[in-house]
Amino acid sequence: MAAAARRISSLLTRSSLLLSHAGRNARAGSGVSRFSTAAVAEELIVPPVQISYTQHLIDGKFVDAASGKTFPTYDPRTAEVIAHVAEGDKEDIDRAVSAARKAFDEGPWPKMTPYERSRILLRFADLVEKHNDELAALETWNNGKPFEQSAKAEIPMLARLFRYYAGWADKIHGLTVPADGNHHVQTLHEPIGVAGQIIPWNFPLILFAWKVGPALACGNTIVLKTAEQTPLTALYAAKLFHEAGLPPGVLNIVSGFGPTVGAALASHMDVDKLAFTGSTETGKIVLELAARSNLKPVTLELGGKSPFIVCEDADVDKAVELAHFALFFNQGQCCCAGSRTYVHERVYDEFLEKAKARAMRRIVGDPFKQGTEQGPQIDSEQFQKVLRYIKAGIESDATLECGGERFGSKGYFVQPTVFSNVQDDMLIAKDEIFGPVQSILKFKHLDEVIRRANQTHYGLAAGVFTTNIDVANTLSRALRVGTVWVNCFDVFDAAIPFGGYKMSGIGREKGIYSLKNYLQVKAIVTPLRNPAWL
Amino acid sequence: MANHEQQSNGNGEMNQLKIPEIKFTKLFINGEFVDSIKGRNFETVDPRTGEVIATVAEGDKEDVDVAVKAARTAFDQGPWPRMSGFQRARIMEKFADLIEQNNNELAALDCIDAGKLFMMGKLVDIPAGAASLRYYAGAADKIHGEVLKSTRSLHAYTLKEPIGVAGHIIPWNFPTSMFLMKVAPALAAGCTMIVKPAEQTPLSALFYAHLAKQAGVPDGVLNVVTGFGHTAGAAISSHMDIDMVCFTGSTEVGRLIMQAAATSNLKQVSLELGGKSPLIIFDDADLDKAAGLALQGIVHNKGEVCVSSSRVYVQEGIYDEFEKKLVEKAKAWKLGDPFDPNTRQGPQVDKRQFERILSYIDIGMKEGATLLTGGKPWGSKGYYVEPTVFADVKEDMQIVREEIFGPVMSLMKFKTIEEAIERANNSKYGLAAGIVTKDLNVANRVSRSIRAGIIWINCYFEFDLDFPYGGYKMSGFGRDLGLNALHKYLQVKTVATPLYDSPWL
């Protein structure tokens, strides 16, 4: 995108997106099904929200970057700039860490009763509910995900996650521990200190909750770096958090880029813990920076190439719908996307035909429009990357069943794309594409599919579609992944832990397991004189 | 004797104004306030004056039957156990909010019905009741079973299921705390229930039922049957369709309840019964603090507390000085109208308790204990008893063996830590104990040596939402509060199935 095109958006005064579709005959004879030919000019809906917060949030105050610099943030529907946001760097991280340090060392946050902390988290959840539609509109505007998904699922989930963690705050139990001799032993589960958190752009507020929720419930203070693509909603949410009574310095947010802000946070000597969600490539850097600085413990939730396995007993219609959802949800921008669809040979042909038909029916368009299933990809880089992978798929002789091109002529829309005859060694079956590209593979035996499903350096999630209890149990245990969804997918309850095996990451988020990331364990031992029992 | 300032017993004009209109006096069954089937009523009395506050529907066996039927239907077919824990939690949080909004009225009800301090209710009991609903609401979506290790190729796990219909029989000394201590974890677990409040204090329970309905607790989930122990209480404990009974009250009645459970359907039983809790004060204690703690331990809520520190053991090195301080403090203790914010002690709950306490004081004197202070009714109206301290008490005296449930302390002297432990444990009860010492080793040793459900070191009455509490020995079994209480309302079901070709076991 030319920089010139990135001027401040005129969205509030109407801009439009020409949703032209690739011509039916564009690749005549290729056998590839295309989307409707009619070039439809569609008015873009004006997001019903103002952008009020674009500065860093440090020590309870919105402040400019130390350097005074800003960077633009975009509407992925149009590639137009919607705001300029403070661009953080090392100095901003230093300031934020120092505020978080002070708030941790001097209080009041970790010194409050857990009940008081839980009341603040609950009040925040109430405020999120009250501002549901503004948060949802901002999320969709900056990210491109369907507004209905933001408003009806993700923002309510944000509130729900904080209610969940509020309930943990007053139930964090240490243990009294048996000793071999006359000793009285206890463990204290103490807050770990200042947590550095780096979140991605695909679910900005949900991931905000996954990180901030447990850290605050445990009594920590935080420096959060949002993704440079989606800096807006976390600032809005944090503003609500302070309205709910969060003391200054407890939650600090610095916007900016990975190599500057992210690196400064990961290598900071005064940050006690780091949690990162993003690509495996960046995860490696984060881990390395932690190792080189102060050995802060690191939680990583990284990439995936998750198998979705459709067994021979499957109800094909249901399997198709679920496999479609597993891959295409959120424009395919999910770390756990079911991006390798393994289908048993007995149902393969029927599945393929129906999967293709389903993808063709997928409604792509303005995410603010009711009924839209798929909005634009997040940015130019991702958009180009997805198209490159599609090209690689075609070149590796996978069969392009439908889609394969950009959708429309503006913004970052990609046609829902289905490949069949995909082989395990093709790039599209090995790499994380992070876009609306479904790869369908055929299998014959259970042993075979287990071996093939596990043959990846990722291990985030898997889908299993069968009603056979023995097959379900065998697959559940055999797949080397952090989550197995049996006859469902993307079920993300607050209490269900999530995280990866292998190079999909380290540690678990959500559920009781997430608390461990933000607690130190201290053993206290003292001799017992003449104990009544041991 | 005691120089307690004489003041209003509750007939002053200012205090009359605070008495709320009594809105709910009928049984609450299946979401409706209804008369008892027999049409009978009983009177509930203001212990400040002995006057009748209201007549309340008197539930009996047939009313319990109707309530159980409603609870059974609500459990077997209703939405409550089928909601997610989170949905239940949202309703419970609403319930908590409504309690806070009605704080004054609820505190006033407990004040006129039980003689409890109004300010204590308003500032402590009612907010803590709301907090307990929030605590268990926060636990409702965190009920984890476990996936098990098998010795064979089996996949197995546990499900924690709501136990079903619970019967709660609660006492009159903390009408609000006891109601919510039982109801909140049962609601969180997904149970349905029948609550029988004490006949002395039926009013706030009915108000809570009304608020629960307003908050969205479905009909039939929470039923309140007011009435007496030998009728309504007995019907609950012997009912064939109640899955568990939780009782807080006397050891004597606890035994009857357990018997009724045994002879009916072997329902699970949880009992939180009497106590004769020791407070052990060592030579290294801060005297002033220790004396304050000891007095609080016996006069708090007029001594009508199952964990009252009714046996105070003081090490010989500080005994004399301690005794002097304690008596000074007891004499300065302020009795009066519980609505008055300056009052520290209101009247005993009813005439029967009042007379029972006085008769124990009489027994103590006849047994040869020395009355250091108190020993008499206070004022000319209502059921007030002066803070009373006996010295020269012997371990075999009735006043040191039995639970008096009033502001009557037995003060005793000890020499060694071994002796203190032995004498503290020399009781059929085992509910609570206090230790006052600066010595870590003494604190740790005594904590493990005392056979009681809760030990307070350099503090007393420190209850908290997350602290389980309940009795050893004849103080009962089962625990209230904390997550232990939640698990009381859950059944454990193991599910096992063969596992084929698992890569690990």
Contact list, B448 vs chain A (CB under 8 Å): 184, 528, 531-533
Residues A98 and A157 reside in one and the same domain: yes
Identify the CATH number of the domain in which residue B284 sits: 3.40.309.10
Q: Does B431 touch chain A (CB under 8 A)?
A: no
Alpha-carbon gap: B187 to the closest alpha carbon of chain A (Å): 15
Residue tagged active-site, from A80, A87, A139, A301: A301
Residues A324 and A278 reside in one and the same domain: no
Q: Does B440 touch chain A (CB under 8 A)?
A: yes
ipTM of the complex: 0.86
Q: Is B477 part of a structural domain of the chain?
A: no
Residues B316 and B375 reside in one and the same domain: yes
- Look at B503 and A470 and tell me if their CB atoms are within 8 Å: no
Q: Is B207 part of a structural domain of the chain?
A: yes
Q: Strand runs (DSSP E) across B133-291, as ranges?
A: 147-148, 154-162, 165-169, 192-196, 222-224, 244-248, 268-272, 278-281
Residues of the domain holding A362 = 307-494
pLDDT for A21 equals 38
Closest-CA residue to A76 (of A303, A430, A368, A425): A368
Consecutive H or E run containing A521: strand A519-527
- Look at B89 and A160 and tell me if their CB atoms are within 8 Å: no
- Look at A184 and B444 and tell me if their CB atoms are within 8 Å: yes
Contact list, A125 vs chain B (CB under 8 Å): none
**Measured torsion, CA atoms of residues B111, B115, B116, B117, in degrees rounded to the nearest 10:** 80
- Going across the sheet that includes B147-148, the strands are B147-148, B154-162, B490-498
Burial class of residue A173, CB neighbours in 10 A (0-12, 13-18, 19+): exposed
Q: Does A528 touch chain B (CB under 8 A)?
A: yes
Q: Strand runs (DSSP E) across B257-400, as ranges?
A: 268-272, 278-281, 311-315, 370-373, 388-391
Closest-CA residue to A217 (of A251, A243, A186, A188): A251
On whether the CB atoms of residues B220 and B28 are closer than 8 A, the answer is no
pLDDT for B18 equals 66
Question: With a cut of 50, which residues of chain B have pLDDT below it?
Answer: 1-17
Residues B195 and B158 reside in one and the same domain: yes
pLDDT for B50 equals 87
On whether the CB atoms of residues B432 and B462 are closer than 8 A, the answer is no
- Sequence-distant (6+) residues with CB within 8 A of B70 are B29, B30, B219, B220, B223
Is residue A276 helix, strand or coil? strand
Question: With a cut of 50, which residues of chain A have pLDDT below it?
Answer: 1-29, 37-41
Alpha-carbon gap: A253 to the closest alpha carbon of chain B (Å): 28
Per the annotation, the verdict on B272 as an active-site residue is: yes
Between the alpha carbon of residue B316 and those of residues A47, A399, B443, the distances in Å are 79, 94, 18
Q: Does B130 touch chain A (CB under 8 A)?
A: no
Q: Does B449 touch chain A (CB under 8 A)?
A: yes
Supply φ then ψ for residue A99, to 5 degrees.
Answer: -65, -40
On whether the CB atoms of residues B435 and B447 are closer than 8 A, the answer is yes
Residues A80 and A175 reside in one and the same domain: yes
Q: Is B17 part of a structural domain of the chain?
A: no
Report d(CA A281, CA B28) in Å as an integer. Answer: 63
Identify the CATH number of the domain in which residue B128 sits: 3.40.605.10
- Look at B500 and A470 and tell me if their CB atoms are within 8 Å: yes
| Pairs of CB atoms within 8 A across A/B | 88
Q: Is A311 part of a structural domain of the chain?
A: yes
Residues A243 and A388 reside in one and the same domain: no
pTM value is 0.90
pLDDT for A34 equals 65
pLDDT for A35 equals 66
Identify the CATH number of the domain in which residue A367 sits: 3.40.309.10
Of the residues B236, B251, B273, the one at which a domain ends: B273
pLDDT for B380 equals 87
Identify the CATH number of the domain in which residue A196 sits: 3.40.605.10
pLDDT for A17 equals 35
For residue B367 the two structure tokens come to: 């047994």
Supply φ then ψ for residue B19, to 5 degrees.
Answer: -75, 120
Residues of the domain holding B318 = 278-469
Please enumerate, as own/partner, the contacts of A134-137 that have beta carbons within 8 Å and a separation of 24 or more. A134/A48, A134/A49, A134/A236, A135/A205, A135/A233, A135/A236, A135/A237, A137/A47, A137/A48, A137/A49, A137/A368
Residues B417 and B438 reside in one and the same domain: yes
